[in-house]
Amino acid sequence: MMIAVTGDISKEEAVKKIMQYFGSWGQARHAVDPAPPPKKTNHGVFYIKKQLPQSTVVSGEFTVSKNDPDYYAFSVLDFIIGSGGFRSRIFSAVRNHEGLAYSAGSFYRARSNYGIFGTYAFTKTSSTVQSLQLINDILRDTASGSIKPDELEWAKKSILNSFIFSFELPHQIAAQQMIIEYEKLPADYLISYRKKIEAVTGEDVKRVAAAHLNEKRRLMLILGNTDEFGKLPEEWGQPVLILPNL
């Protein structure tokens, strides 16, 4: 069990209170480290059939962990691809330029021993395949090394500017310390984070993009009216219907 305490209280008082309410708890079980992801994963398109006027399109693949030296470069890469909002590549192309979705982007969730990178779009049924094709094209172009210097600087500056807002309130600071302990991160993780983001170069981002954006490992999941999607590109293979008629 892990407990964090914030507020106008001394360490001694906190320990006393914790022991008062939790001191009798026995240690019947030991914490188990989360299992790593499988070395081999399926890829292709999976359907969840539901009669809706729009589709939810998600793609994803396993990637680098928080303890991987490439974590910082991949964080910058993800920001450029889609988690950076209006200026990110997916949002700009899928929503602003083509008008295919009212929301689109990417996400990167890193843990101590693995990471997950994914993309998403919410689009009308008739543009489901087109939206997913465009996102795949963006990822393929990014993997080819097309990151521009202005994109790199914008992403790094934005990440560093938002980082400070993670420590505005006491409970945020306590939560960050809990995460470091739980995920067995280096004690100086928060102290060194800014410097390591600042140190990311264009070559770093291009290298991790080429190494970790892999179509052959990517799963694509679509929720919507599968009868109206139209024909998929042949290279995607036969879609698998995993949840019919919700």
Higher-confidence residue: 34 or 173?
Answer: 173
- Ranked by mean pLDDT, the top range of 13-22, 131-140, 173-182 is 131-140
Domain covering 41-147+204-243: architecture: 2-Layer Sandwich (3.30)
CB distance 126 to 80 below 8 Å: no
Q: To the nearest whole number, what is the mean pLDDT of the chain?
A: 91
Average pLDDT over residues 60-71: 94
Question: Distance between CA atoms of 208 and 40, rounded to whole angstroms?
Answer: 20
Q: Flag whether pLDDT at 23 surpasses 70.
A: yes
Average pLDDT over residues 37-60: 89
pLDDT tens-digit profile of 192-214?
A: 999 999 999 999 999 999 999 99
Q: Flag whether pLDDT at 216 surpasses 70.
A: yes
Q: What pLDDT was estimated at residue 173?
A: 82
Q: What pLDDT was estimated at residue 27?
A: 67
Average pLDDT over residues 148-157: 98
Q: What pTM value is reported for the model?
A: 0.87
Higher-confidence residue: 25 or 212?
Answer: 212
Average pLDDT over residues 109-126: 94
Domain boundaries, the chain: 41-147+204-243
Q: Flag whether pLDDT at 94 surpasses 90.
A: yes
pLDDT bin (cut points 50, 70, 90) of residue 88 is very high
Write out the DSSP string of 172-201.
HHHHHHHHHHHTT--TTHHHHHHHHHHT--
Question: Distance between CA atoms of 200 and 82, rounded to whole angstroms?
Answer: 18
SS (H, E, C) 1-28: CCCCCCCCCCHHHHHHHHHHHHCCCCCC
Higher-confidence residue: 221 or 32?
Answer: 221
pLDDT bin (cut points 50, 70, 90) of residue 69 is very high
